[in-house]
């Protein structure tokens, strides 16, 4: 599902929950074995957090294998983003029932961001925190045209994808109101402009999105590499 919205240079692996709400990885696969360095990160985490952490890294190692990389530990950096092998760019995401990772050779794709969200409305108190005035206007138009289209959740997911693509390039935090997103519903695309003073040359991002299995998935790259 996620690969349908990714550039050709990217490789992705995803998992959906099976019966009983549990994923069922292959216990014989090399990339299913957590590394001690990773286990140290989640030693004090609750079981749900440990399961998510392991699952997205399992996906990431399988995606890296498609680029010819042997399994390696994938440790979070200072801001929580994973530290990828040299020459690799990538992104991870998870939400209830789903987890995925996408990777690419940085020489072919400088950065990538992906995000998964449940296909349902955002809580009302969240929308005002993440949307800019011009975005609220566009969301109101979308809601009047089709109340079943959860454009607010799509906006949130798109901004998450933009941040995941932005941070590896700049090593800087990005607030929700520092990104303006325009959603193309018919084309299942979105454009994003970073308004932060520190944006430098990393200003414009091009994204794609899809829905299915109760999920909204988004992915974005720098606009000139889309």
117 close to 156: Cβ distance less than 8 angstroms = yes
Q: Does one domain contain both 21 and 60?
A: yes
Look up the CATH number of the domain holding residue 152. Answer: 3.90.470
pLDDT band at 197 (very low <50, low <70, confident <90, very high): confident
Per residue in 2-38, pLDDT tens? 999 999 999 999 999 864 444 445 444 555 788 999 9
Per residue in 36-53, pLDDT tens? 999 999 999 999 999 999
User: Considering its fold, how many domains does the chain have in total?
Assistant: 2
Per residue in 148-193, pLDDT tens? 899 999 999 999 999 999 999 999 999 999 999 999 999 999 999 9
Q: Does one domain contain both 124 and 181?
A: yes
Look up the CATH number of the domain holding residue 30. Answer: 3.90.470.20
Q: Does one domain contain both 49 and 92?
A: yes
pLDDT of residue 18: 62
Query: Could you tell me where the DSSP H helices lie in 93-186?
Result: 124-130, 133-145, 151-170
The range of the structural domain enclosing residue 67 comes to: 2-110
Q: Does one domain contain both 101 and 20?
A: yes
Per residue in 97-129, pLDDT tens? 999 999 999 999 999 999 999 999 999 899 999
Separation CA 87–CA 85 (nearest Å): 6
Contacts of 69 (CB under 8 A, 6+ apart): 85, 88
Q: Does one domain contain both 92 and 177?
A: no
């Amino acid at each position: 599902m996620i690969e349908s919205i990714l550039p050709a240079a990217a490789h992705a692996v995803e998992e959906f929950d099976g019966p009983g709400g549990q994923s069922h990885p292959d216990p014989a696969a090399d990339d299913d074995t957590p590394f001690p360095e990773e286990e140290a990160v989640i030693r004090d985490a609750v079981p749900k957090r440990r399961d998510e952490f392991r699952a997205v890294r399992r996906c990431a190692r399988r995606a890296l294998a498609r680029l010819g990389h042997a399994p390696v530990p994938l440790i979070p950096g200072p801001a929580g983003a994973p530290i990828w092998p040299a020459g690799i760019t990538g992104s991870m995401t998870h939400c209830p029932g789903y987890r995925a990772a996408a990777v690419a050779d940085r020489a072919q794709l400088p950065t990538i961001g992906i995000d998964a969200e449940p296909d349902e409305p955002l809580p009302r108190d969240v929308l005002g925190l993440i949307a800019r005035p011009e975005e609220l206007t566009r969301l109101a138009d979308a809601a009047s045209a089709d109340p079943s289209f959860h454009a607010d959740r799509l906006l949130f997911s798109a901004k998450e994808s933009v941040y995941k693509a932005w941070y590896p390039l700049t090593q800087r935090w990005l607030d929700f109101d520092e990104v303006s997103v325009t959603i193309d519903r018919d084309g299942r695309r979105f454009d994003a402009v970073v308004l932060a003073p520190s944006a430098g040359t990393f200003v414009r991002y091009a994204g794609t999105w899809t829905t299915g299995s109760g999920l909204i998935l988004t992915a974005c790259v720098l606009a000139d590499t889309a």
